Every structure is written in structure tokens, then in C-alpha cells.
Amino acid sequence: MLIEKGVHFLAIEGPIGVGKTSLAKIIAERWKAMFIEENFVDNPFLEKFYQNKEAYAFQTQLFFLLDRLKQLQHSALQSDLFHDLLVSDYTYDKDQIFAAQNLSESEYAMYEQVARALNHDIPRPDLVVYLQASVPTLLKRIHGRGRNMEKSIEGAYLKGLMDRFDDHFWNYPYAPVLIINTDNIDFVHNEADLQMVLNAIAQCPKQTTYFVPEGK
């Protein structure tokens, strides 16, 4: 399907709570792809970050930066050996979005130095699916999944992230981006909604494309 159109690495992206991991898992299962999941569970600073953003933002971002790099490099090698398609629920570049949102000016300058030093031989996706949703939708989904560390997330923080995500993926330089508005659909629990999303991805757009599904 995607392989015939030259897509060997598909990345699902979006802000907190939009459903990127759920969609990536479904695609990996149905299209028999290798799945890479963002490793937030092992980040020893993440829960502390939600409790005190200023004190733990830099450590949190640095862990994610290094861990994502290691995951992608290792998984790309494994995929070449055992799978035709690789699906991830993040891109390496997304870390810069959170860094710009969370770090102080001096911390961000140091972070950029580290990121630039590592920014070589990084596997880049052939297609990015960027899932959008409004702040009320994101808050509803975040509260619905019930992760204790995320209870402190506020709408203003999500709005800042959404603006940065929009700017980043509308101008993404490495691959075509399929932008899908998910406010009125539920691809996790509604098969018709899921098929609509999968069909849009299977079209494999060659340039940045905006898709608003017809929800019920």
C-alpha cells in the first residue's frame, strides 16, 4: 500500500492527547509494520516536570532528545532487516517544539547546541500524519485517559503547543505532511472514522495536505 508509493517510514504526530499513539498502533497492526513508541514511561524527570516545569524542563527534554535519537537509529536498522514499513508515534524534530515551549532562553540555547551536534544520520519519515484537535478536545481526551501526571495540564499550555505544532508541520521541510482535524471523529472506537483516516493516509499525498473528516 504505502510501500508501493515509496513510503517506508510513516510518522504519526500531534500534541498531547490527540491520539497519535493509538493510531500508530492500529496502523502497525493492520499494515504489519514495525512500531516505535515514544518512551515517556522511562523518563525519570517527566512526572517531576509536570509538578515543577521550571525546575525539570531541561532534564526532561534532554532525556527525550537522546532517547528518541537512539530509538530511531536502532529501529531503522531493525526495520530494514525484518519489516518493509516502520511506523512511529513521533518525529525526532518534535522535541524542539517542546523545548521551545518549556525551556528558558539560556536553557534553549544550550539545548540547541546539543541538538545540532547530534543532528546527523537521523532517519526521517517519508510521510508525516499530523493529527490536530482543539484545546477542549485535547483536554477531554487527556482527562479521559486518566494519567495522574497529566492532571495539571492547562488549556493555555496546550494552546501554546498547538500553535507551535501548527507552525512546525505546516512548514515541515523533510517530507509531505497530511494534516487531519480530529475534533469530530473517534478513530479508536468508530470503525467508519478509522477507515476514513486510513484511506486518507493510503492516498499518500505528495505535498502538505489538509483533511477535515466528516464526523457524526
Model confidence at 167, pLDDT cuts 50, 70, 90, reads very high
Rounded CA-CA distance 153/97 in Å is 17
Active site residue 163: no
Domain that holds residue 118: 3-18+27-211
Other C-beta atoms lying within 10 Å of the C-beta of residue 108: 19
- CATH code where residue 193 lies: 3.40.50.300
Residue 120 has pLDDT above 70, yes or no: yes
Whether 36 and 72 have beta carbons less than 8 Å apart is answered as: yes
Strands 177-181 and 127-132: parallel
Is 216 domain-assigned? Answer: no
Q: Model pTM greater than 0.75?
A: yes
| Single-letter code of the amino acid located at 212 | V
**Count of domains in the chain?**
1
Average pLDDT over all residues of the chain: 90
Annotated catalytic residue, options 89, 93, 95, 126 = 89
Rounded CA-CA distance 78/81 in Å is 5
**Which phi and psi (to 5°) does residue 52 adopt?**
-150, 90
Higher pLDDT, 215 or 123: 123
Give the pLDDT confidence of 27-76 residue by residue, as tens digits.
999 999 999 998 888 899 999 999 999 999 999 999 999 998 888 887 76
**Least trusted range by pLDDT, from 70-79, 113-122, 141-150, 190-199:** 70-79
